[in-house]
């Protein structure tokens, strides 16, 4: 379940726009000019608007949970799908990852055939510009092409890139960074 909370955006506007207003001059009260830098937040704090975005994953568990045996559940199938790792600054599938891709493709085509697949591309610490997200996407796209070559329908595959924003390891070592250059599999209903 994912909650997205829009936190008192009105308050932010009122608070932050206060200074951008033209100065209010009150020459009658002082030789100096008076400016009221408005702070409506102190006077009127708007209620927090909370919107719950329904999670499709959650609804699947609720709607179809009884129909799924535990061994076929999405989470257990996801655990069976192996992450594909990449070399530094590389986007091709390494020789030692080929068998993983084949195994993953087999699971996707058989046990998980009723689900769609989301490929999540990740990078190591190279910044969070759009270009770095594009590099993560390139890794997802490589795995997508490999899955298609193994007979997975392209229409079942969605892709996303998390850039460097989804690390599994955060220490500054070679081994750690190698763990972050990867594509994870997620199943979608």
Q: Which residues are at the interface with another protein (CB under 8 A)?
A: 2-13, 15-20, 23, 30-43, 46, 49, 51, 53, 56, 88-89, 116, 118, 127-135, 137-138, 140-141, 144, 158-162, 165-168, 172, 174, 177, 188
Residue 82 and residue 143: Cα distance in Å, rounded? Answer: 12
CA distances from 183 to 13, 15, 64, 97 (A): 39, 42, 28, 11
- Closest to another protein by CB, 107 or 136: 136
Q: Which residues pair with 116 in a beta bridge?
A: 188
Least distance between another protein and beta carbon 127 (Å): 6
Rounded alpha-carbon distances, angstroms, from residue 22 to 11, 16, 128: 19, 14, 37
Cβ proximity to another protein, 71 vs 143, nearer residue = 143
Compare residues 45 and 99 and give the one whose CB is closer to another protein: 45
Classify strands 182-188 and 116-121 as parallel, antiparallel or unpaired.
antiparallel
Residue 39 beta carbon to another protein: minimum distance, rounded to whole angstroms: 4
We find the least distance from the C-beta atom of residue 131 to another protein, in angstroms, to be 4
| Helix (H) / strand (E) containing 53 | strand 49-53
- By beta-carbon proximity to another protein, the closer residue of 81 and 136 is 136
In angstroms and rounded to an integer, the radius of gyration of the C-alpha atoms of the chain is 25
Is the Cβ of residue 77 or residue 157 nearer to another protein in the bound state? 157
CB closer to another protein, 104 vs 133: 133
From the CB of 35, what's the least distance to another protein, in Å? 5
User: Do 56 and 189 touch, CB atoms closer than 8 A?
Assistant: yes
In the bound complex, what is the minimum distance in angstroms from residue 84's beta carbon to another protein? Answer: 15
Query: Nearest approach, Cβ of 40 to another protein (angstroms)?
Result: 8
CA atoms within 13 A on the CB side of 155: 1
């Amino acid at each position: 379940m994912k909650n997205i909370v829009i936190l008192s955006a009105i308050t932010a506007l009122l608070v932050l726009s206060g200074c951008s207003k033209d100065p209010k001059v009150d020459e009658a009260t002082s030789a100096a000019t008076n400016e009221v830098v408005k702070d409506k937040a102190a006077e009127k704090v708007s209620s927090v608007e909370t919107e719950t975005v329904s999670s499709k994953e959650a609804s699947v568990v609720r709607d179809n949970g009884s129909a799924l045996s535990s061994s076929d559940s999405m989470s257990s199938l996801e655990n069976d799908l192996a992450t594909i790792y990449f070399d530094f600054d590389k986007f091709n599938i390494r020789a030692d990852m080929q068998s993983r891709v084949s195994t993953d493709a087999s699971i996707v085509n058989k046990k998980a055939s009723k689900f769609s697949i989301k490929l999540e591309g990740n990078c190591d610490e190279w910044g969070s510009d759009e270009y770095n997200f594009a590099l993560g996407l390139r890794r997802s796209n490589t795995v997508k092409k490999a899955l298609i070559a193994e007979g997975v329908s392209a229409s079942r595959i969605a892709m996303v890139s998390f850039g460097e924003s989804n690390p599994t390891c955060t220490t500054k070592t070679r081994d750690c960074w190698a763990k972050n250059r990867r594509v994870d599999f997620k199943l979608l209903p």
